[in-house]
Each structure stands twice: as C-alpha cells, then as structure tokens.
Structure 1
C-alpha cells in the first residue's frame, strides 16, 4: 500500500471537501452574529474553524483580524489581514483593515502608501458607501497623525 493511501487525514482536510460556498457563508454569518452579540470568543472560534477548513475564504480571515483588533492583539491581526490579501490581493476592505492597524501602531509611512493604493482602487472601481466612509476616516486619521 502506498503511504498516500494509509496517511491519516487531518479533520480540516476532510471537512474542507464537505462544505459548499453556501454553507461557508452560513457559518460565517453565525460568526458575524456572534460578534454583533458581543460574544467575541465564540466568533473567534468560528472564524478560526473556517480558516482551517477553507483557507481561501478570505472574509473569515478578516473576521478573525477584527477579533484581534478588538482585543488589541495587532500582530495576529496583521497576519490575518495578510492572509486575506494573499487570497484577494485587491480587496479594498482588507487593505483598509491593514491601514487601520498600521495607523493604530503608528506605522504612518506604510499606512500612507496603502492609502494611496486604496485611493487609486476606489477611483478605478467604486466601492460601497460604508467602505468609502471607512477609507475617508483612515485618510483623516493619517492626515491628523502625530508629528
């Protein structure tokens, strides 16, 4: 017997094949509901589970980043945002999360570069009013940064 046949599969390998996009969306909605209800720990567990079984599902990476931002755990938040950007490199929402973290951690130079990139992306392809407002808020934060 080949080692491939006898190799024990991890639960995430088994589950990944069993979830449809619709099911992932439903589980993601449950995690978002948990966040909105103030149950950050439950949301974190659900988001982590999604990223384990479907690492290409970038909204779960952003949800996990949000959890880390809420708990002021910025290094893991940056990691999660970078994972989201690995999957969807031109995600304006992901870039805005990254900018927000960079401004919070006072990495103004990098934040400014990303702000320019996001501005160009928004000019090329309009985004939702909420994302546009989030961009404007980050731009104001950048302009009012400490000298």
Structure 2
C-alpha cells in the first residue's frame, strides 16, 4: 500500500498549508496512524482518519489509496475505484492504485478495464520501474484471476 518509500505527502505551497493548518509531517503522521489502525483491524478508526486526511490534504495520494483499500474491505467497490482513480490522478506512477483498480474491476466483471490495467502494470514491471516484489506478486495473482475468469 506504500505510494513511495517515505509515504510523505506531495509538497504543498505555504498558502495550502495555512488554509488547512497542517504541516506535511502532521499529514504523514495522520496517514501512518490511519494505516496502523487498518493493519490492526480497526477499520472504523482508520476510516475516520482517512476521511479527515482527504479533507485536509486532498492531493496526498497515499490517503486516497488508503480510502480505496478501506472501501474494498467494506465491499464498496464503486467508491474503491473512485478513490484509486483519485490516487492515480495525483500520482500517475502509483502502481499500487493500478493493482487496486484491477482487483475491483475483476470483482465487478469489467474484464476489459482489468485487462488494460494489467497490461500497464506488466509493462512497468518488465520495464524495471517496479522494484517491489510485493507488487509483482499482487500483479501475478490478479493476472491469474484474469486468466481464469
């Protein structure tokens, strides 16, 4: 679920910080707490923090990815797709969001969209831009789902 090595938000202007009142470090800390809640099964607490995170830092892609994950857990796939797309809008290189989209599309029966995104992920893996073995394993598992449809 990591968008980048440090899970740091996209740098914001002074105006954006003043408007929302949170520093980049505070945003990253809120994200880490929300993620910790999710990892430990405290989904409701994670949802509250993730929703607040999207409000105070709407351009923080990992926050949207977390929301997508939480919506997947709730089996609300339309909202999961929306949140993953938001993460990709902010960070087009976020392969994790592509994997989430594939998983949702396969479950929804949208095999065309799933196949398109699987192809994109495969190209990134083959091109060497994906170095995380967890992403490669997730890709492979979704590829098997796609092939066995």
TM-score by length of 1: 0.85
Q: How far apart, CA to CA, are the structure 2 residues paired with 1:115 and 1:36?
A: 26
When residues 128 and 120 of structure 1 are mapped into structure 2, their CA distance, relative to the original with a 3 A threshold, is same
Q: Which runs of 5+ in 2 are unaligned?
A: 1-15
Equivalent in 127, 134, 137 of residue 131 of structure 2: 127
Q: Equivalents in 2 of 1:74, 1:119: separation in Å? A: 23
After the TM superposition, which residues 79-98 of structure 1 pair with which residues of structure 2 at under 5 Å, given as runs?
Answer: 79-98=82-101
* Greater RCO, CA 8 A, separation 6+: 2
SS at match of 1:127: coil
The offset of 1:144, in angstroms, is: 0.8
Instruction: Compute the RMSD of aligned alpha carbons.
Output: 1.6
Equivalent in the alignment of 1:45: 48
Q: Could you say which structure has the larger radius of gyration?
A: 1
| In 2, Cα distance between equivalents of 1:67 and 1:126 | 24
Q: Distance in 1 between matches of 2:104 and 2:124?
A: 19
Ranges in structure 1 where 5+ consecutive residues have no aligned partner: 1-11
Which residue does the alignment assign to 1:59? 62
In structure 2, the partner of 1:8 is: none
Alignment partner for residue 71 of structure 1, among 71, 74, 82? Answer: 74
Measured after TM superposition, the shift of residue 23 of structure 1 is: 1.7
* Superposition deviation, residue 20 in structure 1: 2.4
- Structure in which a larger fraction of residues adopt helix: 1
Structure 1's consecutive aligned runs of 4 or more residues displaced over 6 angstroms after TM superposition are: none
Q: How many residues align?
A: 133
CA distance in 1, matches of 2:80, 2:130: 26
TM-score under structure 2 length normalisation: 0.84
